Amino acid sequence: MATELKDDPQSCLTCEVFNPNEMIVDLLKKKELDEDVYQRLSDIFKALSDPTRLKIINALRIKELCVCDIQEAVGLSTSAVSHQLRILRNLDLVKFRKEGRQAIYSLADEHVLALFSQGLEHVLESIPEKD
């Protein structure tokens, strides 16, 4: 019987009996984050859901780069790269400084690198090794 439940994808979607643990629910409610925190976090994950922006972050985890180098690395036009960088900059995922006539971009902080690295590690663990 247990294997039948395990194999049935519908079996784990709901409890068979509604009986929430009030102590746990109360604790969870006390630890609840503000809605604006959830929204900001959601915005960050939305930004990270775009493959082009992930390519930019991947390039910037190696080295800080000027827009021209990012453009060549990801194979996009200057305007397309600028658009993606603006999204990342508005969410404090990347930062830039001016060096003469160049804008040099880098990851905003170690948190961005950690987010990317953890996601990458998770994905690479699930890809079967090639012989």
Domain assignment of residue 66, given as a range: 37-126
Residue 13 lies in a domain: no
Residue 92: pLDDT band (50, 70, 90) is: very high
Per-residue pLDDT tens digits for 57-84? 999 999 999 999 999 999 999 999 999 9
Residue 93 lies in a domain: yes
Residue 1: pLDDT band (50, 70, 90) is: very low
Q: What is the CATH number of the domain that holds 45?
A: 1.10.10.10
Residue 10 lies in a domain: no
Nearest to 70 by CA among 55, 89, 83: 55
The whole-number pLDDT of residue 14 equals: 79
Residue 116 lies in a domain: yes
pTM of structure: 0.79
Of 124 and 1, which is predicted with more confidence? 124
Q: What is the domain count for the chain?
A: 1
Residue 113 contacts residue 107 (beta carbons within 8 Å): yes
Tell me how long the chain is. 131
The whole-number pLDDT of residue 9 equals: 57
Spatial separation of the C-alpha atoms in residues 10 and 19, rounded to whole Å: 19
